[in-house]
Homo-oligomer: A and B are copies of this chain.
Amino acid sequence: MKRRTGPSVSLFHGGSAGRGDSPLYRETYRRIRAIILDGTVCAGDRLPSARAMAQDLRVSRNTIEAAFGQLRSEGYVERRVGSGTFVSGNVPKVPQVSRRRPAKVPGIAATIVAHSREKGLRALSRRGRESSAPPPDVAADTDASFGVCRPGLDLFPTQLWNRIAARRMRRSMGDLLDEQSPNGLASLRTAIASYLRLARGVRCSPEQIVVVTSTQQAIDLVARLLVDAGDKVWLEEPCYTGARYAFAAAGARIVPVPVDVAGMDVDRGAARDPRARLAYVTPSHQFPLGVTMTLERRLALIRWANSANSWILEDDYDSELRYDGRPLAALQGIDDSERVLYVGTFNKIMFPSLRLAYLVVPPDLVEPVTSARRWMDGYTTALNQAVMADFVHDGHFGTHVRAMREAYRERRDALQEAVATYVPQHVRLGARDGGMHVVGWLPKRANAPALAERCARRGLYLRDVAGYYAGRPPGPGLVLNFASAPPNRIARGVRVLGQELGVK
Protein backbone atom coordinates (compact mmCIF):
# COMPACT_ATOMS: atom_id res chain seq x y z
CA MET A 1 0.00 0.00 0.00
CA LYS A 2 2.71 2.48 0.93
CA ARG A 3 6.45 2.85 0.40
CA ARG A 4 7.95 3.36 3.82
CA THR A 5 11.35 4.91 3.39
CA GLY A 6 14.22 4.74 5.82
CA PRO A 7 14.86 6.84 8.89
CA SER A 8 13.28 10.19 8.17
CA VAL A 9 12.52 13.21 10.28
CA SER A 10 9.55 15.41 10.49
CA LEU A 11 10.40 18.19 8.06
CA PHE A 12 8.72 17.61 4.82
CA HIS A 13 9.26 17.76 1.16
CA GLY A 14 7.17 17.17 -1.89
CA GLY A 15 9.03 18.80 -4.73
CA SER A 16 7.66 21.90 -6.38
CA ALA A 17 4.37 22.26 -8.19
CA GLY A 18 5.77 25.11 -10.22
CA ARG A 19 5.78 25.49 -13.99
CA GLY A 20 8.25 22.60 -14.28
CA ASP A 21 5.41 20.25 -13.42
CA SER A 22 3.11 21.70 -16.05
CA PRO A 23 0.77 19.20 -17.74
CA LEU A 24 2.39 19.95 -21.10
CA TYR A 25 5.77 18.87 -19.80
CA ARG A 26 4.26 15.71 -18.31
CA GLU A 27 2.52 14.95 -21.58
CA THR A 28 5.71 15.38 -23.59
CA TYR A 29 7.52 13.18 -21.10
CA ARG A 30 4.79 10.52 -21.41
CA ARG A 31 4.90 10.63 -25.20
CA ILE A 32 8.65 10.15 -25.41
CA ARG A 33 8.59 7.43 -22.77
CA ALA A 34 5.82 5.66 -24.69
CA ILE A 35 7.80 5.42 -27.94
CA ILE A 36 10.80 4.20 -25.98
CA LEU A 37 8.79 1.51 -24.19
CA ASP A 38 7.04 0.23 -27.30
CA GLY A 39 10.31 0.03 -29.20
CA THR A 40 9.53 2.73 -31.73
CA VAL A 41 12.96 4.01 -30.82
CA CYS A 42 15.65 1.60 -29.65
CA ALA A 43 18.47 1.57 -27.13
CA GLY A 44 21.26 3.73 -28.47
CA ASP A 45 19.06 5.86 -30.73
CA ARG A 46 19.91 9.51 -30.45
CA LEU A 47 16.99 11.79 -29.68
CA PRO A 48 16.70 15.08 -31.55
CA SER A 49 18.12 18.14 -29.80
CA ALA A 50 15.80 19.90 -27.39
CA ARG A 51 15.67 22.83 -29.80
CA ALA A 52 14.69 20.62 -32.74
CA MET A 53 12.04 18.78 -30.77
CA ALA A 54 10.67 22.00 -29.33
CA GLN A 55 10.16 23.27 -32.87
CA ASP A 56 8.66 20.03 -34.16
CA LEU A 57 6.31 19.57 -31.22
CA ARG A 58 5.53 23.28 -30.96
CA VAL A 59 6.35 23.50 -27.26
CA SER A 60 8.90 25.60 -25.41
CA ARG A 61 12.46 24.35 -25.19
CA ASN A 62 12.15 24.40 -21.38
CA THR A 63 9.30 21.95 -21.67
CA ILE A 64 11.46 19.57 -23.66
CA GLU A 65 14.40 20.05 -21.29
CA ALA A 66 12.12 19.27 -18.35
CA ALA A 67 10.86 16.14 -20.08
CA PHE A 68 14.43 15.05 -20.90
CA GLY A 69 15.43 15.67 -17.29
CA GLN A 70 12.64 13.45 -16.05
CA LEU A 71 13.50 10.72 -18.57
CA ARG A 72 17.16 10.91 -17.54
CA SER A 73 16.34 10.74 -13.85
CA GLU A 74 14.26 7.64 -14.54
CA GLY A 75 16.98 6.09 -16.67
CA TYR A 76 15.10 6.04 -19.97
CA VAL A 77 17.66 8.24 -21.69
CA GLU A 78 21.24 9.29 -21.01
CA ARG A 79 23.13 12.40 -22.01
CA ARG A 80 26.53 11.92 -23.62
CA VAL A 81 28.42 15.16 -23.25
CA GLY A 82 29.06 16.75 -26.63
CA SER A 83 27.05 14.25 -28.61
CA GLY A 84 23.47 14.55 -27.29
CA THR A 85 20.74 12.50 -25.60
CA PHE A 86 20.42 8.77 -26.30
CA VAL A 87 17.87 6.10 -25.48
CA SER A 88 19.36 4.24 -22.56
CA GLY A 89 20.56 0.67 -23.05
CA ASN A 90 19.49 -0.57 -19.64
CA VAL A 91 15.78 0.23 -19.58
CA PRO A 92 13.67 -2.87 -19.07
CA LYS A 93 11.44 -3.58 -22.08
CA VAL A 94 13.62 -1.51 -24.43
CA PRO A 95 14.44 -3.84 -27.34
CA GLN A 96 18.19 -4.10 -27.97
CA VAL A 97 19.21 -3.95 -31.61
CA SER A 98 22.64 -5.05 -32.71
CA ARG A 99 22.94 -2.97 -35.90
CA ARG A 100 23.09 0.70 -35.05
CA ARG A 101 20.14 2.27 -36.79
CA PRO A 102 20.53 5.85 -37.92
CA ALA A 103 18.92 8.20 -35.42
CA LYS A 104 15.87 9.63 -37.26
CA VAL A 105 16.28 13.15 -36.00
CA PRO A 106 13.24 14.95 -37.40
CA GLY A 107 11.43 11.59 -37.64
CA ILE A 108 11.08 11.09 -33.93
CA ALA A 109 8.95 14.14 -33.27
CA ALA A 110 6.64 13.04 -36.09
CA THR A 111 6.57 9.55 -34.60
CA ILE A 112 5.71 11.01 -31.23
CA VAL A 113 2.83 12.99 -32.67
CA ALA A 114 1.53 10.07 -34.73
CA HIS A 115 2.04 7.68 -31.86
CA SER A 116 0.31 10.08 -29.53
CA ARG A 117 -2.69 10.35 -31.79
CA GLU A 118 -2.88 6.60 -32.23
CA LYS A 119 -2.47 5.87 -28.54
CA GLY A 120 -4.76 8.71 -27.55
CA LEU A 121 -2.07 10.37 -25.49
CA ARG A 122 -3.03 13.77 -26.79
CA ALA A 123 -6.71 12.85 -26.63
CA LEU A 124 -7.05 14.38 -23.18
CA SER A 125 -9.55 17.21 -23.02
CA ARG A 126 -8.22 20.70 -22.33
CA ARG A 127 -9.89 20.36 -18.94
CA GLY A 128 -8.23 16.97 -18.62
CA ARG A 129 -4.78 18.40 -19.29
CA GLU A 130 -5.41 21.14 -16.75
CA SER A 131 -6.49 18.72 -14.07
CA SER A 132 -4.19 15.82 -14.82
CA ALA A 133 -1.07 17.55 -13.60
CA PRO A 134 0.50 15.11 -11.18
CA PRO A 135 0.48 16.19 -7.55
CA PRO A 136 3.72 17.82 -6.40
CA ASP A 137 6.12 14.88 -6.26
CA VAL A 138 3.76 11.92 -6.48
CA ALA A 139 6.21 9.63 -4.73
CA ALA A 140 6.39 11.86 -1.69
CA ASP A 141 2.67 12.57 -1.54
CA THR A 142 1.61 8.98 -1.95
CA ASP A 143 4.12 7.93 0.66
CA ALA A 144 2.45 8.31 4.00
CA SER A 145 5.65 9.43 5.70
CA PHE A 146 5.82 12.69 3.80
CA GLY A 147 3.77 15.60 2.61
CA VAL A 148 3.01 18.89 4.25
CA CYS A 149 -0.23 18.75 6.26
CA ARG A 150 0.40 15.27 7.58
CA PRO A 151 -0.91 15.14 11.15
CA GLY A 152 0.79 13.47 14.11
CA LEU A 153 -0.82 10.09 13.74
CA ASP A 154 1.34 8.81 16.59
CA LEU A 155 -1.08 10.74 18.82
CA PHE A 156 -4.36 9.50 17.37
CA PRO A 157 -6.57 7.45 19.76
CA THR A 158 -6.89 4.50 17.38
CA GLN A 159 -8.21 2.06 19.99
CA LEU A 160 -10.98 4.46 21.00
CA TRP A 161 -11.93 5.04 17.34
CA ASN A 162 -12.04 1.30 16.68
CA ARG A 163 -14.23 0.73 19.75
CA ILE A 164 -16.73 3.36 18.62
CA ALA A 165 -16.70 1.98 15.09
CA ALA A 166 -17.32 -1.59 16.29
CA ARG A 167 -20.20 -0.37 18.48
CA ARG A 168 -21.75 1.58 15.62
CA MET A 169 -21.48 -1.41 13.28
CA ARG A 170 -23.15 -3.66 15.85
CA ARG A 171 -25.95 -1.17 16.42
CA SER A 172 -26.86 -0.02 12.93
CA MET A 173 -24.75 -1.51 10.16
CA GLY A 174 -28.03 -2.62 8.60
CA ASP A 175 -29.02 1.00 8.01
CA LEU A 176 -25.48 2.06 7.18
CA LEU A 177 -25.32 -0.38 4.26
CA ASP A 178 -28.06 1.46 2.50
CA GLU A 179 -28.39 4.32 0.02
CA GLN A 180 -27.54 7.66 1.72
CA SER A 181 -28.45 11.27 1.13
CA PRO A 182 -25.96 13.30 -0.95
CA ASN A 183 -25.96 15.90 1.86
CA GLY A 184 -24.57 13.49 4.37
CA LEU A 185 -25.82 11.78 7.53
CA ALA A 186 -28.28 13.92 9.51
CA SER A 187 -26.56 13.07 12.81
CA LEU A 188 -23.19 14.25 11.50
CA ARG A 189 -24.61 17.41 9.92
CA THR A 190 -26.23 18.32 13.23
CA ALA A 191 -22.95 17.71 15.07
CA ILE A 192 -21.00 19.80 12.54
CA ALA A 193 -23.50 22.69 12.64
CA SER A 194 -23.41 23.04 16.41
CA TYR A 195 -19.61 22.70 16.49
CA LEU A 196 -19.25 25.43 13.86
CA ARG A 197 -21.70 27.76 15.59
CA LEU A 198 -19.96 27.40 18.95
CA ALA A 199 -16.31 27.08 17.97
CA ARG A 200 -16.14 29.11 14.76
CA GLY A 201 -19.02 31.58 14.91
CA VAL A 202 -20.39 30.16 11.66
CA ARG A 203 -24.06 31.00 11.13
CA CYS A 204 -25.69 27.81 9.91
CA SER A 205 -28.40 25.22 10.37
CA PRO A 206 -27.77 21.49 9.77
CA GLU A 207 -29.69 21.90 6.49
CA GLN A 208 -26.89 24.14 5.19
CA ILE A 209 -24.21 21.49 5.78
CA VAL A 210 -23.16 19.28 2.88
CA VAL A 211 -20.78 16.50 3.90
CA VAL A 212 -18.07 15.83 1.31
CA THR A 213 -14.96 13.68 1.07
CA SER A 214 -12.28 16.33 1.33
CA THR A 215 -11.53 20.02 1.08
CA GLN A 216 -10.37 19.22 -2.44
CA GLN A 217 -13.81 17.90 -3.36
CA ALA A 218 -15.48 20.93 -1.77
CA ILE A 219 -13.32 23.29 -3.85
CA ASP A 220 -13.90 21.24 -7.02
CA LEU A 221 -17.65 21.22 -6.36
CA VAL A 222 -17.78 24.98 -5.83
CA ALA A 223 -15.57 25.63 -8.86
CA ARG A 224 -17.86 23.57 -11.09
CA LEU A 225 -21.08 24.96 -9.67
CA LEU A 226 -20.17 28.64 -9.63
CA VAL A 227 -17.36 29.18 -12.13
CA ASP A 228 -17.65 29.02 -15.91
CA ALA A 229 -14.77 28.74 -18.35
CA GLY A 230 -13.25 32.21 -18.71
CA ASP A 231 -14.54 33.49 -15.36
CA LYS A 232 -11.91 35.14 -13.20
CA VAL A 233 -11.08 33.78 -9.76
CA TRP A 234 -8.96 35.41 -7.08
CA LEU A 235 -6.46 33.05 -5.53
CA GLU A 236 -4.02 33.91 -2.78
CA GLU A 237 -0.40 34.29 -3.91
CA PRO A 238 1.03 31.92 -2.71
CA CYS A 239 -1.83 29.42 -2.72
CA TYR A 240 -2.81 25.84 -1.93
CA THR A 241 -1.88 23.89 -5.07
CA GLY A 242 -5.07 21.84 -5.07
CA ALA A 243 -7.21 24.96 -5.32
CA ARG A 244 -5.20 26.19 -8.30
CA TYR A 245 -5.71 22.91 -10.16
CA ALA A 246 -9.42 22.68 -9.31
CA PHE A 247 -10.17 26.20 -10.55
CA ALA A 248 -7.92 25.75 -13.58
CA ALA A 249 -9.79 22.55 -14.43
CA ALA A 250 -13.03 24.55 -14.27
CA GLY A 251 -11.53 26.83 -16.91
CA ALA A 252 -11.14 29.78 -14.55
CA ARG A 253 -8.75 32.60 -15.37
CA ILE A 254 -6.73 32.82 -12.20
CA VAL A 255 -5.90 36.19 -10.68
CA PRO A 256 -3.12 35.80 -8.09
CA VAL A 257 -3.67 38.30 -5.27
CA PRO A 258 -0.63 39.02 -3.08
CA VAL A 259 -0.70 38.00 0.58
CA ASP A 260 1.05 40.09 3.25
CA VAL A 261 1.13 39.90 7.06
CA ALA A 262 -2.56 40.87 7.11
CA GLY A 263 -3.61 38.17 4.64
CA MET A 264 -4.89 38.60 1.09
CA ASP A 265 -4.41 42.21 -0.04
CA VAL A 266 -7.96 42.98 -1.18
CA ASP A 267 -7.11 46.46 -2.51
CA ARG A 268 -4.36 45.10 -4.75
CA GLY A 269 -6.76 42.39 -5.91
CA ALA A 270 -9.39 44.99 -6.75
CA ALA A 271 -6.74 47.03 -8.53
CA ARG A 272 -5.70 44.02 -10.62
CA ASP A 273 -9.14 42.70 -11.37
CA PRO A 274 -12.23 43.96 -9.56
CA ARG A 275 -14.69 41.80 -11.53
CA ALA A 276 -13.63 38.33 -10.34
CA ARG A 277 -16.43 35.81 -9.98
CA LEU A 278 -15.09 34.26 -6.79
CA ALA A 279 -12.31 34.69 -4.24
CA TYR A 280 -10.76 31.66 -2.54
CA VAL A 281 -9.18 32.50 0.83
CA THR A 282 -7.68 30.78 3.88
CA PRO A 283 -8.30 33.51 6.49
CA SER A 284 -7.61 31.57 9.70
CA HIS A 285 -4.23 30.23 8.62
CA GLN A 286 -3.09 31.25 5.16
CA PHE A 287 -1.71 28.35 3.15
CA PRO A 288 1.27 28.05 3.17
CA LEU A 289 2.40 31.28 4.87
CA GLY A 290 0.37 30.78 8.05
CA VAL A 291 -0.66 34.42 8.50
CA THR A 292 -4.14 35.29 9.80
CA MET A 293 -6.34 37.60 7.75
CA THR A 294 -7.11 40.71 9.83
CA LEU A 295 -10.69 41.75 10.56
CA GLU A 296 -10.18 44.88 8.44
CA ARG A 297 -9.17 42.76 5.46
CA ARG A 298 -12.10 40.39 6.03
CA LEU A 299 -14.54 43.29 6.02
CA ALA A 300 -12.85 44.72 2.93
CA LEU A 301 -13.18 41.36 1.18
CA ILE A 302 -16.90 41.17 1.97
CA ARG A 303 -17.38 44.78 0.81
CA TRP A 304 -15.61 43.91 -2.42
CA ALA A 305 -17.72 40.77 -2.92
CA ASN A 306 -20.88 42.81 -2.48
CA SER A 307 -19.79 45.51 -4.90
CA ALA A 308 -18.58 42.94 -7.47
CA ASN A 309 -21.50 40.53 -6.87
CA SER A 310 -18.91 37.80 -6.28
CA TRP A 311 -18.69 34.67 -4.17
CA ILE A 312 -16.18 34.02 -1.39
CA LEU A 313 -14.95 30.49 -0.67
CA GLU A 314 -13.56 30.40 2.88
CA ASP A 315 -11.24 27.45 3.53
CA ASP A 316 -11.02 27.31 7.33
CA TYR A 317 -8.51 24.41 7.50
CA ASP A 318 -6.42 24.16 10.69
CA SER A 319 -8.59 26.72 12.50
CA GLU A 320 -8.72 24.35 15.49
CA LEU A 321 -4.95 24.66 15.87
CA ARG A 322 -4.21 28.02 17.42
CA TYR A 323 -1.28 28.24 19.85
CA ASP A 324 -1.01 31.92 20.73
CA GLY A 325 -3.83 34.41 21.19
CA ARG A 326 -7.45 33.74 20.40
CA PRO A 327 -8.59 32.62 16.93
CA LEU A 328 -10.72 35.02 14.89
CA ALA A 329 -14.26 33.81 14.20
CA ALA A 330 -14.97 32.61 10.68
CA LEU A 331 -15.42 35.10 7.84
CA GLN A 332 -18.75 33.43 7.12
CA GLY A 333 -20.10 34.64 10.46
CA ILE A 334 -19.62 38.33 9.68
CA ASP A 335 -21.12 38.18 6.19
CA ASP A 336 -24.72 39.38 5.95
CA SER A 337 -25.07 38.97 2.21
CA GLU A 338 -24.88 35.18 2.00
CA ARG A 339 -21.93 35.32 -0.34
CA VAL A 340 -19.59 33.13 1.69
CA LEU A 341 -19.31 29.39 1.18
CA TYR A 342 -17.41 27.83 4.07
CA VAL A 343 -15.35 24.64 3.96
CA GLY A 344 -13.78 22.75 6.84
CA THR A 345 -12.25 19.30 7.13
CA PHE A 346 -11.84 16.47 9.64
CA ASN A 347 -9.08 14.85 7.57
CA LYS A 348 -6.29 16.81 9.25
CA ILE A 349 -7.36 17.14 12.89
CA MET A 350 -8.51 13.48 12.87
CA PHE A 351 -6.72 11.39 10.20
CA PRO A 352 -6.23 11.78 6.42
CA SER A 353 -7.98 8.58 5.31
CA LEU A 354 -11.16 9.50 7.22
CA ARG A 355 -12.24 11.38 4.06
CA LEU A 356 -14.75 13.67 5.73
CA ALA A 357 -15.01 17.39 5.10
CA TYR A 358 -17.99 19.74 4.96
CA LEU A 359 -19.34 22.68 3.04
CA VAL A 360 -21.62 25.28 4.61
CA VAL A 361 -23.61 27.04 1.90
CA PRO A 362 -26.26 29.77 1.80
CA PRO A 363 -29.79 28.28 2.00
CA ASP A 364 -30.58 28.90 -1.65
CA LEU A 365 -27.47 27.00 -2.75
CA VAL A 366 -28.22 23.87 -0.72
CA GLU A 367 -30.25 22.26 -3.47
CA PRO A 368 -27.90 23.02 -6.38
CA VAL A 369 -24.84 21.97 -4.36
CA THR A 370 -26.52 18.75 -3.26
CA SER A 371 -27.59 17.88 -6.78
CA ALA A 372 -24.22 18.75 -8.30
CA ARG A 373 -22.46 16.60 -5.72
CA ARG A 374 -24.89 13.78 -6.48
CA TRP A 375 -23.85 13.80 -10.13
CA MET A 376 -20.16 13.92 -9.21
CA ASP A 377 -19.87 10.82 -7.05
CA GLY A 378 -23.19 10.38 -5.22
CA TYR A 379 -22.43 10.59 -1.53
CA THR A 380 -19.86 9.72 1.12
CA THR A 381 -19.80 6.26 2.68
CA ALA A 382 -21.98 6.14 5.80
CA LEU A 383 -19.88 4.28 8.37
CA ASN A 384 -17.16 6.93 8.79
CA GLN A 385 -19.89 9.58 9.00
CA ALA A 386 -21.75 7.70 11.71
CA VAL A 387 -18.60 6.99 13.74
CA MET A 388 -17.48 10.61 13.42
CA ALA A 389 -20.91 11.76 14.61
CA ASP A 390 -20.58 9.48 17.64
CA PHE A 391 -17.05 10.73 18.27
CA VAL A 392 -18.34 14.30 18.41
CA HIS A 393 -21.55 13.46 20.28
CA ASP A 394 -19.74 11.50 23.00
CA GLY A 395 -17.45 14.49 23.61
CA HIS A 396 -14.29 12.82 22.30
CA PHE A 397 -13.80 15.38 19.54
CA GLY A 398 -13.42 18.32 21.93
CA THR A 399 -10.93 16.34 24.02
CA HIS A 400 -9.02 15.25 20.92
CA VAL A 401 -8.74 18.80 19.55
CA ARG A 402 -7.38 20.08 22.88
CA ALA A 403 -4.89 17.21 23.07
CA MET A 404 -3.63 17.77 19.53
CA ARG A 405 -3.35 21.51 20.13
CA GLU A 406 -1.18 20.88 23.18
CA ALA A 407 1.02 18.34 21.42
CA TYR A 408 1.47 20.43 18.30
CA ARG A 409 2.35 23.51 20.37
CA GLU A 410 5.13 21.48 21.99
CA ARG A 411 6.35 20.33 18.59
CA ARG A 412 6.25 23.86 17.24
CA ASP A 413 8.26 25.05 20.25
CA ALA A 414 10.76 22.26 19.65
CA LEU A 415 11.17 23.44 16.05
CA GLN A 416 11.69 27.08 17.13
CA GLU A 417 14.25 25.99 19.70
CA ALA A 418 16.11 23.77 17.26
CA VAL A 419 16.22 26.56 14.68
CA ALA A 420 17.53 29.00 17.31
CA THR A 421 20.16 26.44 18.31
CA TYR A 422 21.39 25.08 14.97
CA VAL A 423 20.56 27.60 12.24
CA PRO A 424 19.90 30.96 13.93
CA GLN A 425 21.52 32.96 11.10
CA HIS A 426 20.29 30.83 8.22
CA VAL A 427 16.62 30.10 8.76
CA ARG A 428 14.03 32.77 9.53
CA LEU A 429 10.71 31.21 10.57
CA GLY A 430 7.48 32.72 9.25
CA ALA A 431 4.12 32.97 11.05
CA ARG A 432 3.75 30.00 13.40
CA ASP A 433 0.95 30.69 15.89
CA GLY A 434 -1.21 27.97 14.39
CA GLY A 435 -1.43 24.99 12.09
CA MET A 436 0.95 22.13 11.39
CA HIS A 437 3.78 23.75 9.47
CA VAL A 438 5.83 26.92 9.15
CA VAL A 439 7.80 28.43 6.28
CA GLY A 440 11.55 28.60 6.90
CA TRP A 441 13.01 31.44 4.84
CA LEU A 442 16.61 30.99 3.73
CA PRO A 443 19.45 33.38 2.98
CA LYS A 444 18.87 35.27 -0.30
CA ARG A 445 21.50 33.29 -2.19
CA ALA A 446 20.40 29.83 -0.99
CA ASN A 447 19.31 27.33 -3.64
CA ALA A 448 16.16 25.85 -2.04
CA PRO A 449 15.51 23.02 -4.56
CA ALA A 450 19.16 21.87 -4.43
CA LEU A 451 19.14 22.07 -0.65
CA ALA A 452 15.89 20.10 -0.47
CA GLU A 453 17.40 17.46 -2.72
CA ARG A 454 20.55 17.15 -0.60
CA CYS A 455 18.44 16.87 2.55
CA ALA A 456 16.18 14.30 0.91
CA ARG A 457 19.22 12.07 0.33
CA ARG A 458 19.64 12.08 4.10
CA GLY A 459 15.98 11.23 4.74
CA LEU A 460 14.99 14.78 5.52
CA TYR A 461 12.08 15.82 3.36
CA LEU A 462 11.33 19.50 2.86
CA ARG A 463 9.02 21.21 0.38
CA ASP A 464 10.18 24.15 -1.71
CA VAL A 465 7.85 27.09 -0.97
CA ALA A 466 8.26 28.21 -4.61
CA GLY A 467 5.87 25.44 -5.61
CA TYR A 468 2.96 27.39 -4.11
CA TYR A 469 3.64 30.59 -6.02
CA ALA A 470 2.21 31.33 -9.46
CA GLY A 471 4.99 33.91 -9.84
CA ARG A 472 8.35 34.36 -8.11
CA PRO A 473 8.57 33.83 -4.33
CA PRO A 474 10.04 36.74 -2.32
CA GLY A 475 13.05 34.55 -1.64
CA PRO A 476 14.17 30.95 -1.20
CA GLY A 477 12.25 29.05 1.45
CA LEU A 478 11.23 25.60 2.61
CA VAL A 479 8.03 24.42 4.29
CA LEU A 480 8.76 22.78 7.63
CA ASN A 481 6.06 20.52 9.01
CA PHE A 482 6.30 20.17 12.78
CA ALA A 483 3.11 18.21 13.45
CA SER A 484 3.96 14.67 12.55
CA ALA A 485 7.03 13.79 14.60
CA PRO A 486 8.10 14.05 18.23
CA PRO A 487 10.42 16.88 19.39
CA ASN A 488 13.64 14.82 19.33
CA ARG A 489 13.18 13.92 15.66
CA ILE A 490 12.41 17.55 14.86
CA ALA A 491 15.68 18.63 16.48
CA ARG A 492 17.60 15.97 14.58
CA GLY A 493 16.06 17.17 11.34
CA VAL A 494 17.01 20.79 11.91
CA ARG A 495 20.57 19.71 12.69
CA VAL A 496 20.74 17.87 9.35
CA LEU A 497 19.37 20.96 7.61
CA GLY A 498 22.06 23.03 9.30
CA GLN A 499 24.80 20.70 8.11
CA GLU A 500 23.49 20.83 4.54
CA LEU A 501 23.38 24.62 4.82
CA GLY A 502 27.07 24.43 5.69
CA VAL A 503 26.60 25.89 9.14
CA LYS A 504 29.80 25.51 11.15
Q: Does A96 contact B (CB under 8 A)?
A: no
A362 to B370, CA, bound (A): 32
Q: Does A410 contact B (CB under 8 A)?
A: no
A224 with B127: in contact, given A1-B186, A179-B353 (CB under 8 Å)?
Answer: yes
Q: Does A466 contact B (CB under 8 A)?
A: no
- Flag the segment in A42-50, A155-163, A394-402 that touches B: A155-163
Q: How many identical subunits does the complex contain? A: 2
B128 contacts A353, C-beta separation under 8 Å: no
- Flag the segment in A197-205, A213-221, A314-322, A449-457 that touches B: A213-221
B381 contacts A128, C-beta separation under 8 Å: no
Q: Does A261 contact B (CB under 8 A)?
A: no
B375 contacts A2, C-beta separation under 8 Å: no
Q: Does A207 contact B (CB under 8 A)?
A: no
A353 contacts B176, C-beta separation under 8 Å: yes
- Flag the segment in A56-64, A226-234, A419-427, A435-443 that touches B: A226-234
A131 contacts B372, C-beta separation under 8 Å: yes
Contacts of A384 in B (CB 8 A): 381, 383
Contacts of A143 in B (CB 8 A): 179
A135 contacts B372, C-beta separation under 8 Å: no
Within 8 A of B (CB), among A310-333: 311
Contacts of A150 in B (CB 8 A): 179
Contacts of A131 in B (CB 8 A): 224-225, 371-372, 375-376
A125 contacts B375, C-beta separation under 8 Å: no
B135 contacts A217, C-beta separation under 8 Å: no
Q: Does A102 contact B (CB under 8 A)?
A: no
A217 contacts B173, C-beta separation under 8 Å: no
Residue of B at shortest CB range from A37? B363
Q: Does A414 contact B (CB under 8 A)?
A: no
Which of B124, B174, B187, B352 is close to A180, meaning CB atoms less than 8 Å apart?
Answer: B352
Bitwise, A123-134 to B at CB < 8 A (1) or not (0) is 111111001111
Contacts of A393 in B (CB 8 A): none
- Flag the segment in A80-88, A113-121, A282-290, A469-477 that touches B: A113-121
Residue of B at shortest CB range from A168? B162
B180 contacts A169, C-beta separation under 8 Å: no
Contacts of A220 in B (CB 8 A): 375-377
Q: Does A195 contact B (CB under 8 A)?
A: no
In angstroms, how far is the closest chain B Cβ from the Cβ of A220?
5
A353 to B187, CA, bound (A): 16
A384 to B383, CA, bound (A): 9
A33 to B330, CA, bound (A): 29
A352 contacts B229, C-beta separation under 8 Å: no
Bitwise, A269-290 to B at CB < 8 A (1) or not (0) is 0000000000000000000000
B120 contacts A378, C-beta separation under 8 Å: no
Within 8 A of B (CB), among A127-152: 127-128, 131-135, 138, 141-144, 147, 150
- Flag the segment in A103-111, A244-252, A495-503 that touches B: A244-252
A175 with B1: in contact, given A169-B166, A182-B142 (CB under 8 Å)?
Answer: yes
A153 contacts B134, C-beta separation under 8 Å: no
Which of B126, B133, B173, B353 is close to A381, meaning CB atoms less than 8 Å apart?
Answer: B353
Q: Does A374 contact B (CB under 8 A)?
A: yes
The 9 closest A-B pairs by CB, nearest first: A217-B377, A132-B368, A177-B351, A144-B178, A128-B225, A355-B381, A125-B228, A353-B382, A245-B375
11 contacts between A and B (CB under 8 A): A1-B186, A123-B309, A125-B226, A135-B371, A142-B179, A144-B175, A156-B177, A158-B173, A177-B351, A178-B353, A213-B378
Q: Which residues of A contact B (CB under 8 A)?
A: 1-2, 26, 30, 34, 117, 119-121, 123-128, 131-135, 138, 141-144, 147, 150, 153, 156, 158, 161-162, 165-166, 169-170, 173-182, 185-187, 212-214, 216-217, 220, 224-229, 231, 242, 245-246, 249-250, 309, 311, 338-339, 351-355, 362, 364-365, 367-372, 374-384
Given A123-B311, A135-B375, output 8 extra A-B contacts at Cβ < 8 Å.
A1-B180, A125-B250, A143-B179, A144-B179, A177-B352, A217-B377, A242-B375, A383-B384
